[in-house]
């Protein structure tokens, strides 16, 4: 096999991170098309492509229910953990499962996996990274790739941010750049989006409406007011 110098790492383009998922990233499905195009180009050149996935146990400190930050998502074997239906599926692509340790978050594609070893075995010197989400798993994968000694191109047009705080995506881009990664493409795509916290609120509100007999009108009204307040804050942020 000829020596490979570049690899594409597609980070966590899974149902739970796309619209309708339990931890949906706003416009997360928009990364599928550019990543598919790149993956085909890499495969056509005989260069390696990796897809990482969150592959959490049902009980993990990563989830808010067990002391962590996040709603339950990407549990092993569930539909939410499956890759987006339109994401390229090819037998030449290597899948990297992360977040399998119930005591760790597992944000990075390198955390607790053999990704670095596989890249070195392929002779890779440079990795191109895109996916979900800019400010968590993409960022940590990029930072770890730099720590492992790889050159990195972070694909701004092919990532989207969670933005629990409005500036999280922008800050993640700066952290990746400061670590030595080259930011390729329009950075506005990577961070200027409605925070995914809105998706959580919308999901909660929808569930409550569907189960109105189990939820008081006061509780539904409270969630709706919180949603409107958040949208108002974000609108102010984008007009600065």
Q: Which two tokens stand for residue 198?
A: 């809105």
Report how far residue 121's alpha carbon sits from residue 119's, in angstroms, rounded to the nearest whole number.
5
Sequence-distant (6+) residues with CB within 8 A of 184 are 128, 153, 154, 155, 156, 157
Asked if residues 136 and 176 have their Cβ atoms less than 8 Å apart, the reply is no
Q: Active-site residue 137, yes or no?
A: yes
CA 151 to chain centre: 21
Catalytic residue among 135, 137, 157, 168: 137
By three-state DSSP, how is residue 77 classified? coil
Which residues is 83 bridged to in the sheet? 14
Q: Active-site residue 40, yes or no?
A: no
From the list 49, 56, 45, 48, the residue with the least C-alpha distance to 22 is 56
Catalytic residue among 6, 51, 98, 153: 98
Q: Active-site residue 98, yes or no?
A: yes
From the list 1, 7, 31, 67, the residue with the least C-alpha distance to 157 is 31
DSSP E strands in the chain: the ranges are 6-11, 49-54, 94-98, 126-132, 151-160, 182-184
Q: How many CA atoms lie within 13 A of 232 on its CB side?
A: 6
Residues annotated as catalytic are 12, 98, 137
């Amino acid at each position: 096999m000829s020596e490979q110098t570049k690899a594409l790492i597609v980070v966590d383009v899974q149902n739970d991170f796309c619209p309708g998922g339990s931890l949906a990233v706003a416009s997360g499905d928009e990364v599928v098309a550019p990543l598919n195009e790149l993956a085909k180009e890499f495969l056509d050149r005989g260069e390696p492509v990796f897809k990482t996935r969150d592959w959490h146990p049902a009980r993990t400190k990563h989830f808010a229910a067990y002391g962590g930050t996040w709603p339950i998502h990407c549990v092993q074997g569930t539909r939410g953990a499956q890759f987006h239906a339109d994401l390229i599926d090819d037998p030449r692509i290597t899948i990297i499962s992360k977040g399998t340790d119930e005591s760790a978050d597992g944000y990075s594609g390198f955390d607790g996996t053999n990704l670095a070893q596989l890249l070195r075995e392929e002779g890779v010197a440079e990795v191109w990274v895109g996916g979900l989400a800019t400010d968590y798993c993409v960022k940590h994968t990029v930072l770890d790739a730099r720590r492992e000694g790889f050159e990195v191109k972070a694909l701004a047009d092919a990532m989207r941010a969670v933005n629990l705080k409005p500036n999280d995506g922008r800050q993640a881009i700066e952290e990746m750049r400061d670590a030595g990664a080259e930011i390729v493409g329009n950075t506005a795509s990577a961070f200027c989006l409605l925070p995914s916290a809105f998706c959580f609120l919308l999901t909660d509100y929808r569930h409550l409406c569907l189960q109105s007999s189990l939820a008081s009108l006061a509780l539904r009204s409270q969630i709706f007011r919180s949603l409107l307040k958040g949208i108002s804050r974000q609108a102010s942020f984008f007009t600065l």
